[in-house]
Amino acid sequence: MSTRRVVAVPVGGANFGSVRRAFERLGQAIEFSSDPAVVRAATHVVLPGVGAAAPAIAALHARGLVDVLRRLEQPLLGICLGMQLLFEGSEEGEGEALGLLEGRARRLPPAPTWPHMGWNTLRRSVDSPLLAGIDDGEWFYFVHGYALPVGNDTLAQCESGIAFTAVAGRGNVFGCQFHPEKSAAAGRRLLANFLDL
């Protein structure tokens, strides 16, 4: 029996069913909660999200979760919009995000299409336990119009018109711009690695 307590913080229009099923396929239950006490008590925290940055960070402020997320010491994984919220902000809207990672999300160029939607490959920048067993050229599923430039916290990158951060991390904080819950075996491996942190 796992002693992990995985809590996902609902943000935006995330596909909660897909996230739940992805963890259940790994034998791991996951709770969805906006209660700061529940989030603080988790062993692993997931910040999934689909939508726009400004309303999502406003929702975290309204629920009293911004300082809670900033102070977590347990592993934290942001997915898609959730990853962008881990950074300093976004061109998509006014205001600051969580500031746990360095950089601001920018609008991707329309090459070959905008938004960037579909399967694409990763190229690792540095070794990380989150990417254990995931090789360059593995395929992941993306749906996004904004992305983080390659920077100091980039663990792996991808290209759609320009190179951008596909996986980020520093300390206990990690993010993936793609949807691991929709990325078949490679996505399952990344989520399993997260649970092992």
Catalytic residues: 80, 179, 181
Residues 22, 26, 30: CA angle, nearest 5 degrees = 65
DSSP state for residue 195 in the 8-state scheme:
H
The DSSP bridge pattern shows strands 6-8 and 44-49 to be parallel
What is the length of the chain? 197
Question: Residue 65: what are its φ and ψ, rounded to 5°?
Answer: -105, -10
- Nearest in space to 177 (alpha carbons), one of 50, 52, 69, 58: 50
Two tokens at 166?
A: 């596909």
Rounded Cα–Cα distance for residues 139 and 62 (Å): 36
Buried b (16+ CB within 10 A) or exposed e, 24-50: eebebebeebbebebbbebebbbbbbb
Rounded Cα–Cα distance for residues 167 and 44 (Å): 18
